Amino acid sequence: ALSAAIERDPQVVGITAATPYIMGFTPELRAAAGKQFVDVGIAEEHAVTFATALARSGAKPVFGVYGTFLQRAYDELWHDLCLNDMPATILVFGASIFGTTSETHLSFFDISMLGGLPNMRYLAPTCMEEYLSMLSWSLDHREHPAAIRVPGIGLVSRPDLAPAEDTDYSVARYNAVRQGRDVAVLALGDFFELGERVANRLAAEYGIEATLVNSRFATELDREFLDSLAAEHRVVVTLEDGILDGGWGERVACYLACTPLRTRTFGIAKGFPDRYDPNELLAQNGMTVENMAAEAVRLLNE
């Protein structure tokens, strides 16, 4: 998709910090892109400032980077890209509990990190169709920087979740995939499928038809949607592929704190687990389908 955009639009520039393969750019594709694909070497800091300068000059830069390496450029993200409010696109790869598991290369702190940056929009697609839609939107979006959290578990095709061709991501809007009552399961990005299994468990085991939501925006809230939940729901469950502290679920819980809704957030505790098994880490943090469904029912009955 990015190669096609580069061929179609001379203003599109791909940027990598010595990891072109994560964006799918083979030597042949890099040669075809010519000056529109730049490898800055192992210099994520420079890559972000370079992308800012390109955007300021009217180009459409796209910087692809592993989530574990994006932290190296925190200063440049803050002081250069976001302070200048330039419309560059950052593709964040491997940001997941299922990403690299060495304590020196953990990549699940990104939502908390980017959530504190003014002007930054962080999108979390659930599938290939949604990812390509967000990428297409970001290339033509000229108001603010945008980052896209490429699903860390792997891109899957979900035509049933495919957004409309002209979907606008300028304003946070959640997508209620399944309408129910009493319990609302809000799942983010590549954990949508896990949220789907929780909702299915609630129906099969407890007879509760839960509302299932594809939340899509990793650092922003759809306040209008959240306000509407109180009419027919009593419990809200959030699921995210990252740490709870400073994460998206914490923002949801904070917003709903003064309403009658009970909120249960699911993510992992911050720390430096080393060479862990992802499924074991999830279980240690209560993120099994059985436990999350049971927790929702417990809150509902309290």
If DSSP codes are grouped into helix, strand and coil, which group holds residue 26?
coil
Give the pLDDT score at 105. Answer: 94
| Domains, the chain | 2-161 (3.40.50.970), 175-301 (3.40.50.920)
The predicted structure's pLDDT at residue 153: 84
In whole angstroms, give the CA distance from residue 172 to residue 147: 14
Structure confidence at residue 164 as a pLDDT band (50, 70, 90)? confident
| pLDDT tens string 195-221 | 999 999 999 999 999 999 999 999 999
Give SS3 for 84.
Answer: helix
The pLDDT of residue 64: 97
The model's confidence at residue 78, banded by pLDDT at 50, 70 and 90, is very high
> Cβ distance 87 to 142 under 8 Å?
yes
DSSP assignment of 241-272, as one string?
EEESTTSHHHHHHHHHTTSS-EEEEEEE-SS-
Q: Enter the pTM of the model.
A: 0.95
Q: What is the pLDDT of residues 228-260, one digit of tens each?
A: 999 999 999 999 999 999 999 999 999 999 999
